[in-house]
Amino acid sequence: MEQIAFDKREMRTSAGSRASTLTVALCCGVAIGILGGLIGLGGAEFRLPLLIALFGFVALPAVILNKAMSLVVVASALIFRTKAVPLMEVAGQWAIVVNLLAGSLVGAWFGAGWATRMKSRTLYRVLSALLVFVGLVLIFGHQSHASHALLAGWTQIVAGVIAGFGIGVFAALMGVAGGELLIPTLILLFGVNIKLAGSLSLAVSLPTMIVGFMRYSQDSSFVVLRQNWVFVIVMAVGSLVGAGIGGQLLRIVPTEVLLPILAAILLVSAVKVWQHQ
């Protein structure tokens, strides 16, 4: 009888711990979504350090979980944005999307393959460096604007493929959509306005992420997704809710104040990930 009572207490403790973890995941998802919504991104860059430092996932499983949640957020965002930017307008720029996908799909496959072959310690270092890179992009690249495309003809096509490859590798390694790099590329390289660039970046991101996801599915670490599917759904839903809130707060919080703060958060996160064992 004492053993049965002990087992019941242990089950209640385990259930309570799981509920607590899911509650924290939901709250973190909302916070991440708000941060991402404030700058027009999915927030996956802020989610990855939390998966590692707060929830204790090892580097590669954390990237896979981040990729799964990013897929949900990006797919939903693409649907939501059809009200602001009609699909026909996005489809009218199919040549740009194909140009970038020609590089990003290949980059995503190679990036995911490299990640699966890296030792955890090396991957932590790479992720840390990429977080610093994203922080710098937020400060210096987020306000990019151009009245016309920097290049034209074949030079633009070649540059688009090369840029797409680099973005694909970056997105696969971090498990993110890559919007922080895609949007400046679309604006500067192709002369696209900021509003349309947001939708085009999602159109490029979704196929790119699916390819990286398919490559990760061939690795044994992919089992982490099946083991934590409830966690993924809860945190992804939180991110979607937060993104909506962040979008509403966008008019209130000055970008000039916001971007340095978010960059600082990423730099601190980079240090935490670098030191992670």
37/130: higher pLDDT: 130
Residue 272 amino acid letter: K
Average pLDDT over residues 88-104: 91
> Which pLDDT score is estimated for 14?
59
User: How would residue 198 be classed by pLDDT, with cut points 50, 70 and 90?
Assistant: confident
CA–CA dist 44, 64 (Å, integer):
12
Residue 184 near residue 73, CB atoms below 8 Å: no
Range of the domain at 156: 19-275
CA–CA dist 44, 74 (Å, integer):
10
Average pLDDT over residues 57-74: 91
Q: Does residue 11 lie in a domain region?
A: no
> Which pLDDT score is estimated for 142?
60
Q: Does residue 145 lie in a domain region?
A: yes
Q: Does residue 182 lie in a domain region?
A: yes
Length of the chain (residues): 277
CA–CA dist 3, 257 (Å, integer):
58
Q: Does residue 6 lie in a domain region?
A: no
Give the tens place of pLDDT for each residue, 6-46.
Answer: 454 444 445 567 888 899 999 999 998 888 777 667 788 88
Give the tens place of pLDDT for each residue, 47-58.
Answer: 999 999 899 899
**Which residue is it, tokens 């393959």?**
113
> Which pLDDT score is estimated for 4?
45
**Alpha carbon distances (Å) from 67 to 42, 160, 188, 232, 248:** 11, 23, 27, 10, 25
Q: Alpha helices, DSSP H only, in the chain?
A: 2-38, 44-53, 59-80, 87-91, 94-117, 120-140, 153-174, 179-190, 194-216, 223-227, 229-249, 255-275
What total of structural domains would you count in the chain?
A: 1
Residue 216 near residue 116, CB atoms below 8 Å: yes
Answer yes or no: pTM beyond 0.75: yes
Q: Does residue 60 lie in a domain region?
A: yes
Q: Does residue 73 lie in a domain region?
A: yes
CA–CA dist 166, 233 (Å, integer):
29
Mean pLDDT of the chain: 84
Q: b vs e for 129-163, b when ≥16 Cβ sit within 10 Å of the residue's Cβ?
A: ebbbbbbebbeebbeeeeeeeeeeeeebeebbbeb
CA–CA dist 145, 191 (Å, integer):
8
Q: How far apart are the first and last CA of the chain?
A: 42
> Which pLDDT score is estimated for 102?
96
Q: Does residue 165 lie in a domain region?
A: yes
Q: Does residue 23 lie in a domain region?
A: yes
Out of 120-129, 174-183, 257-266, give the one with best mean pLDDT.
120-129
